[in-house]
Chain A
């Protein structure tokens, strides 16, 4: 059962670390100071959440958090590809944040009932933090998604670009049946259905439109370690100083 839990923890932790890292790249470059600050807060939450998840993994016998985060090669990361894509313009970062965090918020809601106690306890805390991420995403999507011609069209283009990758969030684990049967996690299918309903409800308040769900071709592979060209350079940058001497204390 350990392998099943580890696989789940790794993919969630990797998602949080990689998107947290991307969010932190907005520091100093936001469209408003207030957005610099908001993206930095979310980055800190996400990187902190990944740390807490890697700590659980460490208790299950995996390497310490710094080692797993800073020393693994891209093909050993299980984050979905959506999280590793470059920030692009603010519209893409915002749309990604909205699509991904909506899924995370529901995922951690489900995990609050996990039969794996350490994860259930952590999920309570993380779910509380993600509430603010959702508040932020929905406020901006609704504002910019119904403001000017330019803001609406930018968000629409980014939404169309990001949706195939967003479907990759729900790429199933090889242990999907065990996770559900053991009550560890309710499964990607259930998560995806709840997510689609929630996304529809927010988009309904804007001038944006969603394509038919079944017309979207999901971009998969991230959960199996098959990534885009963007992940390895991100990891190289992240570990640049750490690798000068991995045995040193910094």
Chain B
């Protein structure tokens, strides 16, 4: 296994990659998935400092990639942190990821109109 030169969080990656995921919610978190912490739910005593940092940064709506960038952590690790916090309902996903390959047409049209007004 990894020597000291390897990134300390790397072993988590293998877990993310497993097909036998314990929590189906993990499949729905992508880099652009919007997350927001539930302000009424106290931070669990058992939360790690990274989970606390994630809840802190998600005090307002933020994509998973943005949260990872601000926390200076890899997206692959933040997916795991976020999944656990979604399961415990401390973090919620704004509008779960659509099942289609492409975004819905009415959303694409809004993107087009928005870009035209830039």
**Do A and B associate with each other?**
no
Interface residues of A (CB under 8 A from B): none
Report which B residues bind A (CB closer than 8 A).
Answer: none
